Amino acid sequence: MLNREAPEGVLFTACRRVSENKSKAMALVAKADYTVFIEDGFLPETDFAPVLHDFMEKESIVVHKVSKKTESDVDIRPMIYELSADPDGPAPAACVLRARTEKEKQVAEEAAGRIRQAGYKRSVFMSLMTGSAANLKPETVFQAVCMQNGVEYDPFAIRIVRHELYAEDGRTLEMLGSRF
């Protein structure tokens, strides 16, 4: 029923009920994995592996964050768990290998193929702190990478795919719930 009503590009592969004693499901979220696909021609000569390595070696990465209620300078470095270039392109490493089921693998391969055909052949994998306590968007990280390398950030030059959400203990949200 959910897939019939979902917008194009959204596919539900599982549904779980969170225990009654838990607060809102999003309050359980502590981490998310993403792939950021980069448009061909944007940063054309950039080899992302050394750029991302240098970025992650920094003790502090301060960005100016604006939210609905506040505006402040925030050190995002502690909120970045992993940041790596995907040397094999988007399909093999980022989307497909992280798929847990055959259906997810098929959906990931199809999505990566569409993204590649649209002109986004390079990608960066990100694992970031996210949720209600602290939330770091992949756009913010990519913007900071661009800024620290003297490149003007173009929000239209990237496409973002979120792979998974995790609770603080590392379990996926699917693992926390029960089938109904």
**Cβ contacts of residue 16 below 8 Å, gap of 6+?**
173, 174, 176, 177, 178, 179, 180
Per cent of the chain over pLDDT 70 is 79
- The pLDDT of 16-34, averaged and rounded, is 72
The pTM assigned to this predicted structure is 0.77
CA distance 102 to 92: 14
Structure confidence at residue 79 as a pLDDT band (50, 70, 90): very high
Q: How far apart are CA 124 and CA 176, in angstroms?
A: 28
pLDDT in the model for residue 27: 74
Q: Are strands 71-75 and 80-85 parallel, antiparallel or unpaired?
A: unpaired
Measured distance CA(138)–CA(142) in Å, rounded: 6
Residue with the bigger pLDDT between 105 and 177: it is 105
- Provide the mean pLDDT of the chain: 80
pLDDT score recorded for residue 89: 52
Q: Residue range 78-95: average pLDDT?
A: 70
CA atoms within 13 A on the CB side of 166: 13
Per-residue pLDDT at 158: 93
Q: Is the pLDDT confidence value at 179 over 50?
A: no
